[in-house]
Structure 1
Amino acid sequence: MALSLYVDSARWRKHIDQLAGTYPGIVPVMKGNGYGFDNARLAEEASRMGVDTVAVGTTYEAARVKDHFDGRVMVLTPHLRGEDAVPLPDRVIRTVASVQSVRDLVGTRVVVSCMTSMKRDGITQEDLMALRGSLEGVRFEGFSVHLPLDHPDGGSPTDEVSQWVERLGAAKLPLHTMYVSHVSATGLNTLRERHPHTTFRPRIGTDLWLGDHGAMVARGTVLDVVPIARGERFGYRQRKAPSDGHLLVVSGGTAHGVGLEAPKTVRGVMPRAKGVARAGLATVNRTLSPFSWAGKQRWFAEPPHMQVSLLFLPGEVAPPQPGEQLDAELRHTTTHFDRVVLH
């Protein structure tokens, strides 16, 4: 049985279409695991939306997505000199983050990334004069800016984009299109008013595909229910059961991304206190699973296995039957579902 993602397709698509209407010129982003849906499915959804361009993370993803979407495919990871050559169609757009990369891609469609407060990649103001002479050999599609999600110092994403528009204009570079990430609809409207001769195209992934959490639910299938007595040993590491109860064997393990978590930025006293509490429980082998039963999130009995998780259910709680499903709170960008069910 499977770790499944169930999607209310009508509600999901209503959100997608509403957001696309709010962001004219949207470029849907599909990368990695396709936000839990798979990139091929999202590419087909982009075709339904009628967009002319999508964005992917890598050239390898572009090679897969091209068979499911007929328009332009933008690769967000900047070109690296000496990278593996991946056969791609002419409609693929490469991102470049240096003048040298522009020179390496003669005849190719390119978008030039500008360095922002993200400090991740991009050309700098000092590169602009050299860039002007290098664009003649490529098929220039525009510039791009990738902004941070948080602005703790009060910086304005709109102003940061505007500053780049002004720099590029002062350098007399062709500024017909600017692709932007992490700018609000209000901010985009402000940019269009300030710079009417530039087309601003928002690249959106998470808010587009996962913006309506109520439209989807993840569930793991109960594969077995094993009675266990207090002190009885179980599992790979032969731990002792803390009390009488049941072990639940549930679809979904490390191969799916269950139990795996990316580091988080923690701010504030309460979030830090909760983090310390979780770490303390983990040192005594107490870790909450993402699976819930009878209205409560249940504990892992031991670390998840490759394709299943072992949960402990106290004896006073009536267990599920094999074949029943447990709701799961999973991070979609790190979870690989066995199946996605649109209904």
Structure 2
Amino acid sequence: MNNPTQTSAGPDGSLTSAPAPVSPIATSRTRGPRLSGVTWLVWRQHRAGFWTLLAATAVTVALLVHQRADMLDHLTAHGYGRPDSASDEWLAGIHPQRLQFVSYGFGFIPLVLGVFLGAPLLAGDLENGTAKLVASQSVSPSRWLATKLVVSALVVIVCTAALSIAFGRWWGPVKYEATVLGWSDGPAFDNTGPVPVALTLFTVVSGVAIGMLLRRTLISMIVTFAFAVVVQVVWHFQRLNLGHVITVTTDKGVGPGAPRVPLPEAALEIDHWLLSSSGQTYGWGTCAHETSQKVCTQKYDLVGWSVDYLPISQMSSMQWFGASILFALTAAVAVFIFIWGRKRLV
């Protein structure tokens, strides 16, 4: 469409035309950041999945914020935290069940995004020939790969970080209640802090690598599903190894009347041992087959207990340590994608 012109008389009486003033509204429409080039192409290609993920995250975060406010009102109504109140009265409500239900659901996010976002990201283009079309243009394979990974990673990071913050704030007021969610268990540990971001990003980028190697969407999704399950299992068994175990001992006896070993609030007890005066430890069932506790105490010269535990104060450091390992693995997989994809992408 041609720009409108205005006609006016010149000094010699002749008619001249000049462009009409541009409307400020039209000028403002062209300003501001806009996607272009490969970034626009990647976003447009996957916009349905990206917008669905962002919208679902926004709705979920709003619901979690509402649940937190509702739970705080519930705790206040039951006098939670007051010295004269029973700390478990609030458990009769539905909030513990909601926390548990949501936390278990969030545990599937890395698997779902790895299968439905990561695996098809390159496998679909390689299978339907889009990769060859892109390679025939002026865009280099490295730039195309980088844009694909960066845009997808940013969406994953924004969504998982928002969910982590919202869920952490919801769980925060009752984090010391092990009967609701134990801080060292997956439903709490893996859904707060940097862990959900790191776990999801690693699974998604690994799914991209699997799709690049297999070059078929369906088989890539199946293999990524199996890979994500293995990652979750390995992470489950290695989670407690991220912390520094603390040992506390007593020398007040081991009988029924002996005082319990003092542990910090919400501490996770790893193991406990019978302790002799020489410092040697015996399994807690050592006296099970003795005739009496007194005979066992004299036989092994027992003086107290030795308890290994992890305090809740280590939760944040454990999460960041584990997340740093996952981020490093993610970076290694991304480097492999670039090295492999630069020459073998098409």
Structure with the bigger percentage of strand: 1
TM over 0.5: no
When the two structures are superposed, what TM-score results if normalisation uses the length of structure 1? 0.23
Structure with the bigger percentage of helix: 2
When the two structures are superposed, what TM-score results if normalisation uses the length of structure 2? 0.23
